[in-house]
Structure 1
Amino acid sequence: MSSSPVRTSDPAPAAAATAGTAPHGRPEDERVPLGRAVLFGAQHVLSMYGGVVAVPLIVGTAAGLPTAEVGILVASALLVSGLTTLLQSLGLPLFGAKLPLVQGTTFGAVSTMLVIIADGGGLPAVFGAVIVAGLVGVVLAPVFSRLQPLFPPVVTGTIIAAMGISLLPVAAGWIVGPQDSPGAGSALNLGLAAATLAAVLVLSRIRALSGVAILLGIVVGTVVAALAGAADFSSVGQRAALALPHPFAFGTPTFHLAAIIPMIVVIIVTLMETMANLFAVTKVVGTDLPPRRLAAGLRADMAATAVAPLLNSFPPTAFAQNIGLISVTRVRSRYTVAAGGGLLVLLGLVPLLGRIVASVPTPVLGGAGIVLFGSVAAAGISTIGEAPRRGDSDTGHDTMIVAVSLALAVMPIAVPALYASLPPLVAMVLGSGVSAAAFSAVALNLLLKGRGGIAPRIHDHP
């Protein structure tokens, strides 16, 4: 995918009055006041918090851990997500794309981790496999960064659209609520989601508030839920307010080839998804993504994966829902995302804050998720539409690429057991809508067009 030219005089959209655009240089490098950065960062945390804590809850429960130890996994996941977000947004030499990209614990590794636990390896074997796979990912990062010619607009747009579509069931699940709760799927839950969605839409029309419409919409939805007796804050004051990390809290990692090989496959899929997210965020921000920058972003993701087990956490990856938030608010500064990373670190160190965020009813998050996740899909459709304008479109073949790839993305969502009869590794790759769409779009583009990419070559530069 070719880079979009850096816009130095972008016509400011609605949120520009709130956050502005960088008068010189790249839009993601714009500095914003600390108070606004924290406010915008809080929106990012609210939109992705549930996704971060779900993985340690699932894995910890499968491992038979007591509640207190599951709490350690949750706090560790928040801490690592925050540190990785800071690395990705602020950057270090060779590590971090310096883009507004939020990192959180990936769902893609859950099934493999559960298999490792079921085979008797426990968390030490999981952590050992993640460490090795992360180091392999660091080595592979520059190789993947040179695959950009395989990702013209029709391919990247299809992958981004698949990301948004794959996230919509998450929003629906939030609206329904926990299946074991008495109010699951109730009219009240639907009403709370509708109230939140309506609040977001109304607030987005107010110029002065459009940049924080998602956050304020969640606040409005939570207030409505509290008035309806559907919000429970009783657990906020329970347990310790501060908790420091304990490295290797679950024992020294162990290394087993049977666990490492499938985890490496997971990491390769994660590299593809992170690359798609990097393409998506540069599209939304309106900036460039030369190979060196792409490699730094992938390398940060993989380095964090290798280090995460030392702090009792699991592989992190870029979160697409936060790209949707950037698309909605048009707040493109990476420093707002860095503020969100700082808040995640605090949530990991101060469980009291995490319990406050966790008390937001899931139907409220689901109502906001409709806008966030739908925006990701819309960004993908917009990217697909770029091809004709750039003269690199082959309408018949492009239609076939999009049709087949999106179908492969949707089918495992509609029928989760679709690939149950296939070998586990194949089923894992095809069962992920994003990875299935990515493999399909790249392969069909090569097959139907006979070339890896038709966008202009990107010249690397610092």
Structure 2
Amino acid sequence: MPPLKLLTSGLQHVAAMYAGVVAPPLVIGAAVGLSVSELTFLTGASLFMAGMATLLQTLGVWRIGARLPFVNGATFATVAPMLAISKAEGSENALPVIFGATMVAAALGFVIAPYFSRLVRFLPPVVTGTVITLIGLSLLPVAFNWAQGGDESDPHYGEGRNIAMAGATLVLVLLIRRFTRGFWKQIAVLLGLAAGTVLAVPVGLTDFTAVREAGLVGFPTPFHFGAPQFAAAAIVSMCVVMLVSMTESTADMLALGQIVERPADERTIAAGLRADTLGSFVSPFFNGLMCSAFAQNIGLVAMTHIRSRYVVATGGGILVLMGLCPMAAGLIATVPQPVLGGAGVVLFGSVAASGINTLLRAGLDKDSNMMIVGISLAVGVIPIAAPDFYHAFPESAKIILDSGISTGCVVAVLLNLVFHHTGRRGAPPHEETATEPAPERDGRRGAEA
């Protein structure tokens, strides 16, 4: 794409995932009692490593990187176990222990990536469509939380002005999509975020403090918070999270492969998981957290039809520069949470719609497929519909059970095995598989409106 379109389209991806990237370091930093300057440093490191991991994932090196328009960054799945580690180890040693456990878990994930990717043969459209739908449904509560203000402890959380700003942003995005063409239509989310931020200024929702207090240049010094420490309990906990993260990344790659019309096969998934885990292994050296796929950006690809991986790679470059320039990071941070929530409804809803589109090819006229989809969706939405459903389970079990994407994926795979593979040879008749030869595309076809 031309440079200007490449830059703005990449910036749109950054805007869509920025809140998700900075949320984990902000939560953990506050839990371990970091100062404002240290918290800014941790956030900058998270942005820097998100950019590096995204570049590795999109451009690829050897057999590392899916070479799809795939965004990586600090995963929120690690927040609960990291909070438990910080409580057990104390604030002084928490970050070094977290970094050490992350490195071990990432090394394990890198080794098992090619074996883990072989699960793709058990993921036909009836499974992938269910998982993609669950990804969208699981992300929608995040958008609704942003729409209310993002912080439940804030006395203004859920106020009418927050909901109104989210609704206004949603309407703006829809109007831009409806009444513009070509490039402007493709960057509707970015334009909606910018317009929503401007509208939020007189309402009092836009805060420019982060820009005023941030420095111009800052580099994430290696092991700024101390050399990594290795605690057995922390390592086990993070290894479990790594397996959950790899499951979600596999589902995300399958979803993205369907959207860009280049189905992800075993080799692509293995390469993508290697990029995830290598990025997670290097991340602690620069004070970053575990990296994983960002499903919200899949919705952006689905909505804009811009399928070029170089657009997302440009977004990765922007993230690296933001990590090196705290002031630039602060500028993006001025986008109010309610504005992000309005745009998030569009993005995450698009992911769910893509899953439904995949299910249309799954042969739902067959009773077995209806059972697979129905039960898997029911299990997958438990954390959304009944957040306290697993409250009596051990914390280690809740790490997995509280992820509707992971539980729904596991149930769909198991039911597919029972109905379609037990006692049979090969795939069931009239059922597409996820390992069909992928057409040779580089994403340029999808640059049209």
Give the TM-score normalised by structure 2.
Answer: 0.92
CA 1:265–1:73 in 2, change beyond 3 Å: closer, same or farther? Answer: same
Question: 1:119 and 1:181 mapped to 2: Cα distance?
Answer: 27
Is 1:371 matched up with 2:346?
yes
Classify the secondary structure of the residue corresponding to 2:306: coil
Read off the aligned partner of 1:443 and give its amino acid letter: L
Classify the secondary structure of the residue corresponding to 2:381: helix
Tell me the equivalent position of 1:43: 12
Tell me the equivalent position of 1:11: none
- Listed as ranges, the gaps of 5+ residues in structure 1 are 1-31
Question: 1:398 and 1:443 mapped to 2: Cα distance?
Answer: 12
Classify the secondary structure of the residue corresponding to 2:73: strand
Question: 1:60 and 1:229 mapped to 2: Cα distance?
Answer: 26
Q: 1:433 aligns with which of 395, 401, 404?
A: 404
Is 1:172 matched up with 2:144?
yes
- Listed as ranges, the gaps of 5+ residues in structure 2 are 441-449
Read off the aligned partner of 1:317 and give its amino acid letter: S
Tell me the equivalent position of 1:23: none
Is 1:353 matched up with 2:337?
no
Number of aligned positions between the proteins = 427
Is 1:279 matched up with 2:254?
yes
Question: 2:195 and 2:405 mapped to 1: Cα distance?
Answer: 32
TM-fit CA distance, 1:201: 0.6
Is 1:147 matched up with 2:119?
yes
What is the CA RMSD across the aligned residues, in angstroms?
1.7
Q: Answer whether contact 1:174 1:363 (CA < 8 A) is retained.
A: yes
TM-fit CA distance, 1:453: 4.9
Q: Answer whether contact 1:281 1:323 (CA < 8 A) is retained.
A: yes
Deviations 1:146-189 (A, max 9, x none): 11111000101111111100100100010100233343211111
Tell me the equivalent position of 1:5: none
Tell me the equivalent position of 1:362: 337
Read off the aligned partner of 2:395 and give its amino acid letter: P
Tell me the equivalent position of 1:135: 107
Read off the aligned partner of 2:107 and give its amino acid letter: L
Question: 2:153 and 2:330 mapped to 1: Cα distance?
Answer: 20
Is 1:114 matched up with 2:83?
yes
Tell me the equivalent position of 1:207: 181
Is 1:66 matched up with 2:28?
no
Question: 1:425 and 1:34 mapped to 2: Cα distance?
Answer: 47
Query: 140-149 or 130-139: which moved more?
Result: 140-149
Q: Answer whether contact 1:405 1:440 (CA < 8 A) is retained.
A: yes
Q: Answer whether contact 2:362 2:369 (CA < 8 A) is retained.
A: no
Q: 1:259 aligns with which of 228, 234, 259?
A: 234
Query: 308-317 or 179-188: which moved more?
Result: 179-188
Question: 1:407 and 1:361 mapped to 2: Cα distance?
Answer: 33
Give the TM-score normalised by structure 1.
Answer: 0.89
Is 1:159 matched up with 2:134?
no
Read off the aligned partner of 1:130 and give its amino acid letter: T
Is 1:81 matched up with 2:54?
no
Classify the secondary structure of the residue corresponding to 1:119: helix
Tell me the equivalent position of 1:100: 69
Identity %: 45
Deviations 1:125-150 (A, max 9, x none): 11111000000000111012211111
Tell me the equivalent position of 1:186: 159
Classify the secondary structure of the residue corresponding to 1:231: coil
Question: 1:211 and 1:309 mapped to 2: Cα distance?
Answer: 35
Question: 2:320 and 2:357 mapped to 1: Cα distance?
Answer: 34
Classify the secondary structure of the residue corresponding to 1:387: coil
